[in-house]
Structure 1
Amino acid sequence: MTTVSVASSNGALMFDVAVLGAGPGGYVAAIRAAQLGLKVALIERDQLGGICLNWGCIPTKVLLRNAEIVELVKDGEAYGISYENLRVDYARAYKRSREVSNRLVKGVEFLMKKNDIRVFIGEGTLVAPNAILVEHRSEERTITAHHLIIATGAKPLTLPFLKPDGTRVFTYRQLLEVQRAPKSMVVIGSGAIGMEFAYIFHAYGSEVTVLEALPRIMPLEDEEVSAEIARAFNRRGIKTIAGAKVTDAKVGAEGAEVFFETDKGQQSIKSEWVLVAVSVTPNTAGIGLDKVGVKMNQAGYIEVDDHMATNVPSIYAIGDVTGKLRLAHVAQAQGVVAAESIAAKLGKYHDHLPKLDYDAMPRCTYTIPQVASMGLSEAQAKEKGYEVKVSKFPLRANGKSLALNNTEGFVKIVADAKYGEILGVHCIGPDVTELLPEFVLAKNAELTPEEIARAVHAHPTLSESLMEAAEGIGGLPIHI
């Protein structure tokens, strides 16, 4: 990798494309642009891989795997395993998470070198539609390019009365630096981040309560999935309270007391730690977007077209800053589209430029049970005026689930009754995040549930549940 810590200003460096932000969207965009023959600069203020590889997607999945194993060991009797004086070490789990993240970051560094991408470490600010000023340790350099790609991501949204301090009140970023599990923790927000951390720390002995302001847990998921995940968590001893609007908090040396309102009135709960996981906000302030005229919406997200282009012809944007779907794999897909679109404008790409279908984008939560979905929920489909057919296959009827001793959950398909179009798929259960891509491919290829049902699935596998759910749309499931 050609890494350049900016030196004193000695003239601008010229590239075909400069990417601001080296998270999963940014570095993928840089690689695809380089593959298409463009001269590429990649600018990053911290570490390659961004939040995802360093302090997000990857380390949390390592911790979740550790937590899953801890739970399996605790359930050893079911497998004929007995033990005495079980000891679990969260510090070792933390260490493994850092080892895996560091390995992947080194992999990205190798890919930069392989693709001859110039990497500049420093704070980047747009100073013109084709130029980024990079500052590092009081030194600066201007990077100019025919086109710019903004991939600066997002940061946690906080509450005014709960300022994260990394001691009692945490963001997800801060929580990934701790090396012990607390005695108790309140999680504010039941999205993927909040639910994953609730599962992790409960496995390591923490008493966990999840507060959600909206009427149901995981409110962006199908209603039946929300109900199932709440039941699963409550069975494990993770308390979930929906319709709980947090109004205030008191933080002291021993912990925090969180005040919230429900239909039962004002309540409070005390805990050693608090995780604020309510949402994120885009990293668009202070990087010069206003100076060059890039259009943003009221929430601060950059407005883009189907090719990731902004209103400024030379500037593109991808990932969380667009607010489309704030997921790493969506950022990567957008990065490919942006790079190919720029290469086409420069005469280096002549294939079809695809339009991303956000209804076919997978959404995943890696708790146990896992949650995976795409497209419309049953309620959303009906609200849009569709006459729907719904099929749901329970995993308790799947042989592989029984062999795994993990029968929580189901596969649910929402289809258009008239044409058979797949409108939405909603899964909860073991490894369903690995199963969902079959439906993503089917939707992109405009296949119907009937065609999935006719595809032979190996037995015994979890994937049979997809086939059975698809058969159910036609009213012909075999095993229920």
Structure 2
Amino acid sequence: MVVGELVQEYDVVVIGGGPGGYHAAIRAAQLGRSVVIIEKEKLGGVCLHSGCIPSKVLAAAAAKLHAIRNSSLFGILTGEVEFDLAGLTGHKNKVIEQLHAGVAALCRENRIEVVYGSAYFLQEDRIAVESGDHYQVFQYKNAIIATGSSPAIPEGIICDGEQIFTGRSITSIQVVPEKLLVYGSNYIALETALSFKQFGADVTIILDGRKSDFSFDASINRELERILKKHGIKVVKDATLQKAMVENEKVEIFLQTEKEALNLQGSHLCVSLAPKPNLEELGLDRIGVELTEEGYINIDEQCRTSKQNVFAIGDVTSGPPLAVKAIKQGKTAAETIAGQTAEADLNLLPMIVHTIPPIATAGLTEAEAISEGYEIEASQFPLATNGYAAIHNQRDGFVKVVLDKKNDILLGVHIFGFGAVELISAGTIAMEMAARDEDLTFPHYPHPSVNEALLEAVEAIKGRAIHLAFPKRKEKVKS
């Protein structure tokens, strides 16, 4: 630092303006702290500009296309349906611009300063920011690291944004691929596959890292295999991507399985793997922030790092790279800084996938519950027998619950089907409150609605579900 350099002082410096960062900043400002956000690119971060929001715009368009193509069941005759990617791109960009403007307005209203540039720690209470030739120094009482993550790319693969894409960059593709190869097994890979299949692409998913299946509950994996086959999406398992070559506007990929080498050809390739945390440029070694063995920032339940006045949230910390995690951690860090009692417990993070139909899960799978030593009971209720699902011709999927057999406490909820994204919150809240089966069967459920599928899934544990032809067991009647 140059002697005599002007130092700006803030109570809280937030490095990164993504969902976690701006939630942390606004919450800290609400609690009376002076706050500055240092953002390298755009407010809203990857989630708003190339992740959550644009990918869900594509998924929403795919769902609408699917619905329109099946609208004749409702007496709605549309003729041949055409899809215009350019039109969808225009809508996507408009949504992003509106939400970006909204985040900027919230920061202004909360008197949060926003500075653009690359940040790095100088010492335990100072951060430098560089933007071109411009250099600033900020002194802070507390800092929150929210720098997010970058796509992980296999060695030797070059994502050129023309034929080979990441799960983020493919949201800006200019053409519908003739034949799309998707390498990955996370929610982005699934959403990409289902969306572009509806847009007209021939799609193949290659599970990464020689995985033999997706990471959901076994019941969802089985149904997912059926649904992908129903949509005409091919799945390659137990393979590792070795190399990808682009020639004459075609992509050829080389895979290695346990038994043989394979090669597949397509017009485009999308690589969607677990991202890597953005930490390299922060100078964490200067202030002694400790990392985990996997390379994430080590934090406690208040999101505090090994340095008392430095916090970390989101993708730079261990756990699923989900915005919901970053948002909760951001608020927790801000409230802890303000002296409030706060905690970020990630055990019941809901995870959603906007496939057709959607997937939503929270809590333990059957296998996880057994491995943790629980004696369990599990049941599932098929949406094929739910009246509201029948009305909408959305019969695929089910609601599954996992309970602790010893005390009837709910351990996991796994939903695959119509209404899953909205319904999962009921399961999450129930588990947060350590609900027993009777807590879920006692309330009234609106009729007709998909909510009733959750009720009957729980009732099925003890053979009380009305709309199951073969109850798990008959209830004993006392004389």
Q: TM-score, normalised by structure 1?
A: 0.94
Distance 1:112 1:387, change over 3 A: same
Q: CA offsets, 1:53-101, max 9 Å, x none?
A: 1111011111111111111222233233334443210111111111111
Q: Which residue of 192, 199, 203 corresponds with 2:194?
A: 199
2:330 to 313, 332, 335: 335
Q: Which residue of 1 aligns with 2:472?
A: none
RMSD: 1.6
Q: Distance in 2 between matches of 1:392 and 1:216?
A: 24
1:379 to 353, 367, 377: 367
- Aligned-pair CA distance for 1:334: 0.4
Q: Following superposition of structure 1 onto structure 2, how do residues 4-19 of structure 1 map, counting pairs within 5 Å?
A: 10-19=5-14
Report the counterpart of residue 446 of structure 2 in structure 1.
458
Structure 2 CA distance for partners of 1:291 and 1:253, relative to 1, 3 Å: farther
Amino acid at match of 2:455: M
Pair 1:308 & 2:296 matched = no
1:260 corresponds in structure 2 to 255
Please point out which of 319, 342, 345 is paired with 1:357: 345
Partner of 1:448: 436
Partner of residue 90 from structure 2, selected from 85, 91, 95: 95
Is 1:396 aligned to residue 384 of structure 2?
Answer: yes
Cα distance in 1 between the residues matched to 2:255 and 2:408: 44
Task: Write the deviation string for residues 351-392 of structure 1: whole angstroms up to 9, x where unpaired.
Answer: xx2433322110111111111111211011111111001011
Tell me the distance in 2 between the aligned counterparts of 1:174 and 1:165.
Answer: 10
Distance in 2 of aligned mates of 1:201 and 1:209: 11
Give the alignment of 1:163-312 within 5 angstroms.
163-213=158-208, 214-218=210-214, 220-262=215-257, 265-312=260-307
Match of 1:39 in 2: 34
CA separation in 2, counterparts of 1:258 and 1:280?
21
SS of the residue 2:172 aligns to:
coil
Contact 1:30 1:40 (C-alpha < 8 Å) held by counterparts: yes
Whether the 8 Å CA contact 1:325–1:358 is kept in 2: the answer is no
Residue 467 (1) aligns with residue 455 (2): yes
Q: 1:425 is matched by which residue type in structure 2? A: V
Match of residue 395 from structure 2: 407
Q: 1:231-284: per-residue Cα shift (whole Å, max 9, x none)?
A: 101101111222222222222232111122345622221001000102210001
Tell me if the contact between 1:217 and 1:227 (Cα under 8 Å) persists in the aligned partners.
Answer: no
Separation in structure 2 between the aligned mates of residue 289 and residue 253 of structure 1, nearest angstrom: 45
Q: Following the alignment from structure 1 to structure 2, what is the Cα–Cα distance between the partners of residues 263 and 403? A: 46
CA distance in 2, matches of 1:311, 1:203: 48
Ranges in structure 1 where 5+ consecutive residues have no aligned partner: 1-8
Q: What SS is found at the alignment partner of 1:176?
A: helix
Query: What is the alpha-carbon distance in structure 2 between the residues aligned to residue 362 and residue 89 of structure 1?
Result: 33
Can you list the C-alpha shifts for 1:397-432, whole angstroms capped at 9, x where unaligned?
Answer: 111111111111111111110012221111100120
Give the AA of the match of 1:383: S
Q: Pick which of 394-403 and 262-271 moved more.
A: 262-271
Structure 2 partner of 1:68: 63
For 1:471, give the aligned amino acid: E
Q: Is the 8 Å Cα contact of residues 27 and 335 (structure 2) preserved in structure 1? A: yes
Choose the corresponding residue for 1:133, options 105, 119, 128: 128
Instruction: Give the structure 2 partner of residue 431 of structure 1.
Output: 419
Q: Hey, which bits of structure 1, 4+ residues long, moved more than 6 A?
A: none
Other-structure match for 1:5: none
CA deviations on 1:24-43 (whole Å, 9 max, x unpaired) are 00000001100011111111
- Residues 450 and 474, structure 1, Cα contact 8 Å, conserved in 2: no
Q: Which residue is equivalent to 1:3?
A: none
Gaps (5+ residues) in structure 2? 469-479
Q: Percent identity?
A: 35
1: CA distance, partners of 2:71 / 2:449 = 23
Amino acid at match of 1:382: I
In 1, are the aligned partners of 2:335 and 2:342 still within 8 Å (CA)?
no
One-letter code aligned to 1:423 = L
Paired amino acid for 2:442: R
For 2:462, the aligned partner's letter is G
Q: Deviations over 1:163-195 (max 9, x none)?
A: 111111111222122222110110001210111
Report the count of equivalent residues: 465
* Amino acid corresponding to residue 26 of structure 1 in structure 2: G
Q: Contact (CA 8 Å) 1:225, 1:426: kept in 2 or not?
A: yes
- Residues 1:118 and 2:105 are matched in the alignment: no
**449-458 or 259-268: which moved more?**
259-268
TM-score (norm 2): 0.94
User: How big is each residue's C-alpha offset from its partner over 1:183-214, in whole Å with a ceiling of 9 and x where there is no partner?
Assistant: 01100012101110111111110000000034
User: How many angstroms apart in 2 are the aligned matches of 1:226 and 1:362?
Assistant: 17
Q: Is the 1:60–1:97 Cα contact (8 Å) retained in structure 2?
A: no
Q: Which amino acid in structure 2 is aligned with residue 380 of structure 1?
A: E
Provide the C-alpha distance between the structure 2 equivalents of 1:428 and 1:477, rounded to a whole number of angstroms. Answer: 19
CA contact (8 A) 1:184 1:208 kept: yes
Structure 2 contact 150–277 (Cα < 8 Å) conserved: yes
Indicate which of 77, 94, 101 corresponds to 1:106.
Answer: 101
Letter in 2 for 1:389: E
CA distance in 2, matches of 1:216, 1:363: 21
Task: Give how far 1:433 is off.
Answer: 1.2
- Find the aligned partners of 2:88 and 2:174 in 1 and give their Cα distance: 8
Equivalent position amino acid for 2:402 in 1: V
Contact 1:156–1:277 (8 Å) recurs in 2: yes
Contact 2:154–2:241, Cα closer than 8 Å, also in 1: no
Task: Find the residue that maps to 1:92 and give its secondary structure.
Answer: helix
